[in-house]
């Protein structure tokens, strides 16, 4: 009996150690997801990796029970640099606050951006994103701040995933400082179907026809994103961001520069990571004037058009 108990104890110990090791591996891969993305093309690969900048982080009290903190990732050399840096505001997905996807912010900041978020778990109105932008611009004017005179106010972008996609659109359209954004991006933004009475409600609604700045929006072909419905009139089988809704949004956008696409065999919860390379390239082109990054989207040989990771791509040329 003692020998049996000893064997059982050893087996349990091996299982515990194995589970703990597996958990640590999963945690590490999650925190370094950009090293494990399956890229198919050169530009997608380049901008999926970390950029050349070391990254620092600071958080500030937001004086709000809802927003809680403003969290800022930025190039570590900013404090001693005479350069100005473009800003990207990130709007949170449902319950997924800035502190829960630090590696995503770090990746973008490593390419030379000041990236700001907050702890709002229900971002859809765009208010918390508006407040985040106000905050970093205030820091730019504050002589006691490390961000004093370090923000390139002519190059500001915004992006968000899921509910954060709704927030992104509403932050651009419905808040006074929305006119300051130069470019925008959304991943798996909750479709207009869910912004109806009887669904999530009209507070999830947005007006895509008001968008006048360059817009790149993506989703996945997985079931949770795409669903089975082919029309907003269908009351069952609706995905979070189905193809028919994306096509309708694309057709209603009046902005000259618009790009849409879907990630092959990827679903809602992972799209913001899997599209990270092209999201980064999008902001590099529009906010930093990186012409090579623009080759991912524009021209007869736009890389995304022939990338096997993507389908249903549309580009307004």
Query: To the nearest whole percent, how much of the chain has pLDDT over 90?
Result: 80
257 in the Ramachandran plot: left (φ > 0), alpha (ψ -120 to 50) or beta?
A: beta
Query: To the nearest whole percent, how much of the chain has pLDDT over 70?
Result: 89
pLDDT for the residue numbered 8? 60
Residue 186 tokens, joined: 């959304």
Specify the range with the lowest mean pLDDT, choosing from 77-81, 111-115, 145-149. Answer: 77-81
Residue 187 tokens, joined: 């991943």
Provide the 3-class DSSP secondary structure of residue 45.
helix
Find the farthest-apart pair of alpha carbons in the chain and give their distance in angstroms, rounded: 77
Q: Which helix (H) or strand (E) holds 161?
A: strand 151-161
Q: Which residue has the tokens 């106010």?
A: 153
pLDDT at 9 over 90: no
| Alpha helices, H only, the chain | 2-31, 42-48, 102-109, 127-141, 163-174, 223-226, 243-252, 271-274, 276-288, 291-294
Q: Which of 161, 169, 70 is nearest to 125 (CA)?
A: 169
CB-based contact 186:217 (threshold 8 Å): yes
pLDDT digits (tens, 9 = 90+) for 199-234: 999 999 999 999 999 999 999 999 999 999 999 999
Instruction: Count the helix, strand and coil residues of the chain and give each as a percent rounded to the nearest 5.
Output: 45, 20, 35
pLDDT at 21 over 50: no
Distance CA 261, CA 305 (A): 9
Provide the 3-class DSSP secondary structure of residue 288.
helix
Q: Which of 312, 304, 308 is nearest to 221 (CA)?
A: 312
Q: Which residue has the tokens 């990571």?
A: 273
- For residue 163, with 0-12 CB atoms within 10 Å meaning exposed, 13-18 middle and 19 or more buried, which class applies? buried
Q: How confident is the model at residue 34 (pLDDT cuts 50, 70, 90)?
A: low
CA angle 42, 313, 200 (to 5 degrees): 120
Distance CA 31, CA 9 (A): 33
Q: What is the DSSP letter of 243?
A: H
pLDDT digits (tens, 9 = 90+) for 220-272: 999 999 999 999 999 999 999 999 999 999 999 999 999 999 999 999 999 99
CB-based contact 165:172 (threshold 8 Å): no
pLDDT for the residue numbered 24? 42
| Sign of the alpha-carbon dihedral angle for 172, 276, 278, 105 | positive
Angle of helix 102-109 relative to helix 2-31, nearest 10 degrees, comes to: 40
Average pLDDT (143-151) is 96
pLDDT digits (tens, 9 = 90+) for 305-315: 999 999 999 99
The reported pTM is 0.91
Q: Which of 300, 185, 305, 191 is nearest to 238 (CA)?
A: 191
pLDDT digits (tens, 9 = 90+) for 38-90: 888 999 999 999 999 999 999 999 988 888 999 999 999 898 899 999 999 99
Specify the range with the lowest mean pLDDT, choosing from 59-73, 104-118, 281-295. Answer: 59-73
């Amino acid at each position: 009996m003692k020998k049996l108990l000893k064997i059982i104890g050893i087996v349990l110990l091996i299982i515990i150690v194995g589970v703990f090791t597996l958990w640590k591996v999963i945690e590490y891969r999650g925190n370094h997801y950009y090293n494990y993305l399956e890229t198919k093309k050169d530009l997608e690969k380049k901008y999926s990796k970390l950029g050349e900048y070391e990254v620092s982080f600071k958080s500030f009290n937001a004086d709000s029970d809802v927003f809680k903190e403003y969290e800022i990732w930025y190039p570590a050399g900013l404090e001693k640099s005479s350069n100005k840096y473009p800003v990207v505001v990130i709007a949170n997905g449902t319950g997924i606050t800035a502190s829960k996807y630090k590696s995503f912010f770090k990746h973008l900041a490593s390419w030379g951006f000041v990236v700001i978020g907050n702890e709002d778990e229900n971002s859809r109105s765009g208010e918390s994103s508006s407040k985040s932008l106000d905050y970093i611009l205030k820091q730019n004017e504050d002589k006691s701040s490390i961000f004093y005179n370090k923000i390139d106010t002519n190059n500001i972008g915004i992006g968000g995933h899921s509910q954060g996609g709704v927030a992104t659109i509403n932050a651009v359209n419905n808040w006074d400082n929305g006119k300051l954004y130069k470019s925008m991006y959304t991943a798996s933004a909750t479709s207009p179907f869910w912004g109806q009475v009887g669904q999530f409600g009209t507070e999830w609604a947005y007006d895509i026809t008001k968008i006048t700045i360059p817009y790149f929006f993506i989703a996945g072909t997985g079931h949770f994103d795409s669903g089975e419905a082919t029309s907003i009139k269908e009351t069952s089988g609706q995905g979070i961001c189905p193809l028919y809704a994306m096509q309708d949004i694309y057709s209603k956008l009046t902005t000259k520069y618009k790009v849409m696409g879907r990630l092959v065999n990827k679903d809602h919860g992972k799209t913001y990571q899997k599209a990270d390379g092209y999201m980064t390239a999008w902001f590099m082109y529009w906010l930093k004037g990186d012409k090579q990054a623009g080759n991912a989207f524009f021209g007869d040989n736009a890389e995304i058009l022939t990338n096997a990771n993507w389908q249903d791509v549309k580009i307004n040329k």
